[in-house]
Amino acid sequence: MAGDGHWVRWHAAYEDADSALSRRLRTVQRRLGEALENAREGPLRLVSMCAGQGRDVIEVLADHRRGADVAARLVELDPGLAAAAQAGAASAGLPGIEVLQGDASNTAAYADAVPADVVMVCGVFGNVSDDDIRDTVFELPRLSASDATVIWTRHRRPPDLTSAIRAWFVEAGFDEVAFDGDLDGHMSVGTDRFTGEPQPFRPGRRMFTFSANGPAAS
């Protein structure tokens, strides 16, 4: 998330278990749990873009049988959110989680943490341009291991871009696992498996730029 206090206020909605964000969170967590259950045996890598407080990852790894297998890098620019994620990982007893306070839009943040078996792109696509979404999707084969799972979110307000995003994933070498497309009528969660050929990592590539208009339901 961008380094601005309004993102901290935006996260306050998670404190309400009935809020739209909380319901979306539970869907993301369910899909992550399924991805871990179906992943290959042995050590796994996970990276999370704009990780915020890390709830989608930390709460799953704390309870999942594969949690100890996962080395995760959570990238978050806002210092308050990054500190909350670090505290959450420590409280959950998850030494395999690294919280990097840095720019999630730059591929340099993922050096030495990819290719990853799980890539989380949640809270990103609703806050960047259409071109940036496409660029990010087509950069994912350079961050993903064979058979990696990517979990992403996007609002469905008009004009609904989710059909285009789903097509871009297919074009980039992914098979759709699930599309939870009607969360409160305007939120969606996509889950895709990388079936293409992993591509060489490119450090220092900027994938997206956050909107200056502030947070959206993404």
| pTM (2 d.p.) | 0.91
**Half-sphere exposure (CA, 13 Å, Cβ side) for 14?**
15
Q: Which of 77, 72, 76, 75 is nearest to 97 (CA)?
A: 72
Confidence class for position 199, pLDDT limits 50, 70, 90:
very high
pLDDT score of 20 more than 80: no
| Cis, peptide link before residue 115, omega less than 30° from 0 | yes
| pLDDT top residue among 85 and 157 | 85
**Which percentage of the chain shows pLDDT scores above 70?**
86
> What's the mean pLDDT in 90-119?
98
Domains of the chain: 5-194 (3.40.50.150)
How far are the Cα atoms of 89, 213, 218 from residue 161, in angstroms, in the given order? 34, 18, 11
Per-residue pLDDT, averaged over 120-140, amounts to 97
Per-residue pLDDT tens over the stretch 50-60: 999 999 999 99
Q: List 44's β-bridge partners, or say none.
A: 70
Taking the C-alpha atoms of residue 178 and residue 101, their distance in angstroms, rounded to an integer, is: 31
Q: Report the distance separating Cα 78 and Cα 2, nearest Å.
A: 6
* Cα–Cα distance, 127 to 184 (Å, whole number): 19
What does the pLDDT look like over 156-193, one tens digit per residue?
999 999 999 999 999 999 999 999 997 666 789 999 99
Distance CA 72, CA 67 (A): 10
